[in-house]
Amino acid sequence: MRCHRHSVNSALTLTALLIVITAEAAAAAAHGHHGASILEVTDYNPISGLRNRRFSLAETVLRLLRSGAAERHFTAFVEQYGKSYSTREEYLLRLEIFAKNLVRAAEHQAADPTAVHGVTQFSDLTEEEFERLYTGVRGGGGVAAEAAAAVAVDDGDLPEDFDWREKGAVTEVKMQGPCGACWAFSTTGAVEGANFIASGKLLNLSEQQLVDCDNTCDLSDKSACDNGCSGGLMTNAYRYLIEAGGLEEESTYPYAGKRGECQFKQDSIAVKVVNFTSIPINEDQIAAHLVHHGPLAVGLNAVFMQTYIGGVSCPLICGKRWINHGVLLVGYGSKGFSILRLGKQPYWTIKNSWGKRWGEDGYYRLCRGHGMCGMNTMVSAVVTQVS
C-alpha cells in the first residue's frame, strides 16, 4: 500500500480547522445566548452530536457568518486554491455556500467517521453545481444491457493486498476540470490498463476524443447518451470505440476541458477496443477480475466525495441507486487506516479525475464488502487488441 502521510496530515489540519470554526461560532453565539451549542466534530460520539444539536442548518450558517469565522477561513481557502470572483455579489454568494459546506463537511464527518472530511477545492460550490460540473455519469445504476456478463473467475486465492499502480498499469492522476466528463476518464483508464496488460506498454490515452466525438446512446435507454461535458456512460464509450476503430493518445488529441468539433483521425489510433464485459455485483468477483484482468471502470454515488480529504470512506448511509460519477478501480487493501480509531477497514483503491490536490493525491479509498455507495452496481472491463 502506498504511503499517504502528506494527505493524512493535511486532513487532520482541515479537521482541526472545522473544530476551530465551530468553536469560534459557538463562542460568538454564547456571548449573547447563554448555553447555546452547535455541531462539533470532536465529539467521541458524533452521531449523538448530530441528533442533539440545537441549531438548524440555516441558524448554524448564520452564526458562522456573523461571527466572522467563516470569512476568515474563506479568505484562506480563496488564497490556497487561487479562487477569484468577478463581483462583490458573487463573493458573498460563494462565502455563504462555503459556510454551508463547512457544516455539511462536519455532518459528513459524523456520518463517515473512518474518513476525514473538510475543506476541498469544491467548498464554494453547491451540491447541484458540484454534481453538474465534476461528476458526469448519466443513466442511473447498472451496466448497460448489451454488455456481456463476465465469466466467473476463481476468487479463492487472491492476494491480501493488490495495487495495479505498483505494476505500472495506471497513468498519472488527471484533471477533468469543470466538465462533466468523468465517464471519459473512467473509460480511458480502463483501456489504458487493459492495453498495458496486453502489450506491456502504458499509454496516456485521449479523453478529448470521447468528449468531442462520442454521441453513442444506451441500447436500452435512448435518453442515456454520451454528450461531452454534459455526461455519458462508460459502456456507451466502449461501443463507440469499437465502432470508430480505436482511441488516440493524449499527445495527438489533447484534453481541452470543453466540447469541440471532432478531430479524430483513423491513422492516429493508438489502441483498439474489441470487447467489453459487465462484472457481477459480488465484490469477491470484482476483486478477482481486478487482479486477473486489470483496472476496472466503476460508477458510484459521489455524495461524500465533495468534502473528502482522506482515510477509508465508509458512510453509515450512502445511496446505492443514484450513480453519478465514473472512476477507476485500481486495487484494494485489507487494513485501511482509521482516523478515529474505529477499527481497520478493508478498502478499495479508486483513481479519480479531479487532480492530485483532491483526496489522497487524487485517490479515494472506499470500504470494501458493503456495496458502498453503489460501487458494485456499474463495474465493467474492456478488452483491447494486441497489434
If residue 16 lies in a helix (H) or strand (E), which one and from where to where?
helix 5-32
Cell numbers 467563516 correspond to 70
The C-alpha atoms of residue 13 and residue 119 are separated, in whole angstroms, by 10
The C-alpha atoms of residue 211 and residue 362 are separated, in whole angstroms, by 21
Instruction: Give bridge partners of residue 292 from the DSSP assignment.
Output: none
Residue 4 among the catalytic residues:
no
Quick one: cell of 141?
Answer: 445504476
Distant-in-sequence, close-in-space partners of 37: CB < 8 Å, separation ≥ 6: 26, 53, 54, 55
DSSP string covering 247-259, please? EEBTTTS---SS-
DSSP string covering 153-171, please? ---SS--SSEEGGGGT--P
Residue 352 among the catalytic residues:
yes
Q: Do the bridges between strand 363-367 and strand 273-278 make them parallel or antiparallel, or are there none, so unpaired?
A: unpaired
**CB atoms < 10 A from the CB of 135, how many?**
26
Distant-in-sequence, close-in-space partners of 227: CB < 8 Å, separation ≥ 6: 138, 215
Query: At 100, which amino acid appears?
Result: K
Q: Do the bridges between strand 363-367 and strand 308-313 make them parallel or antiparallel, or are there none, so unpaired?
A: parallel
The C-alpha atoms of residue 225 and residue 215 are separated, in whole angstroms, by 6
Q: What is the CA radius of gyration of the chain?
A: 22
Residue 225 among the catalytic residues:
no
Which member of 182, 213, 217, 314 is catalytic? 182
Which member of 195, 324, 352, 376 is catalytic? 352
Which member of 108, 325, 373, 376 is catalytic? 325
Phi/psi for 154 (5° steps) reads -60, 120
- Chain length of the chain: 387
Looking at the annotation, which residues are catalytic? 182, 325, 352
